[in-house]
Homo-oligomer: A and B are copies of this chain.
Amino acid sequence: MLFAVKMDVAIPHDMDPDRKTETLAKEKAYSQDLQRGGEWVSIWRCAGQYSNISIFDVKDNERLHEILWNLPLFPFMTMDITPLATHPSDIRADQG
């Protein structure tokens, strides 16, 4: 089951630099584990923004929540979440 998620990041300007470095490293490792596991299908940087657009393929809403809630940067993110369905014009799905 697919979801599009836009994540806008706003790290506080006074965050301790070591904590920031550590959090960003954890975020990257966390994301790459989920990409290798197949649940975080795509991640793109929005050009010129501290934001990404991602596609997730998860078994249900509970799993989507678990993944996003445990992002190391979650406390500094604003999320926009869109549940996706098959589009009737999609050549991979269209039989007619």
Contact A53 B82, beta carbon cutoff 8 Å: yes
How extensive is the interface on chain A, given as a class?
A: 35 or more
Contact B87 A44, beta carbon cutoff 8 Å: yes
Q: Tell me which of B45, B75, B82, B90 contacts A46 (CB under 8 A).
A: B82
Contact A13 B12, beta carbon cutoff 8 Å: yes
| A1-22 interface bits toward B, Cβ cutoff 8 Å, 1 = contact, 0 = none | 1111100000111010000000
Closest-CB distance, A19 to chain B (whole angstroms): 11
A35-B91, A36-B91, A94-B32 in contact; A86/B5 too (CB < 8 A)? no
The 6 A-B residue pairs with the shortest CB-CB distance, nearest first, are: A48-B68, A65-B85, A44-B84, A47-B65, A47-B83, A61-B83
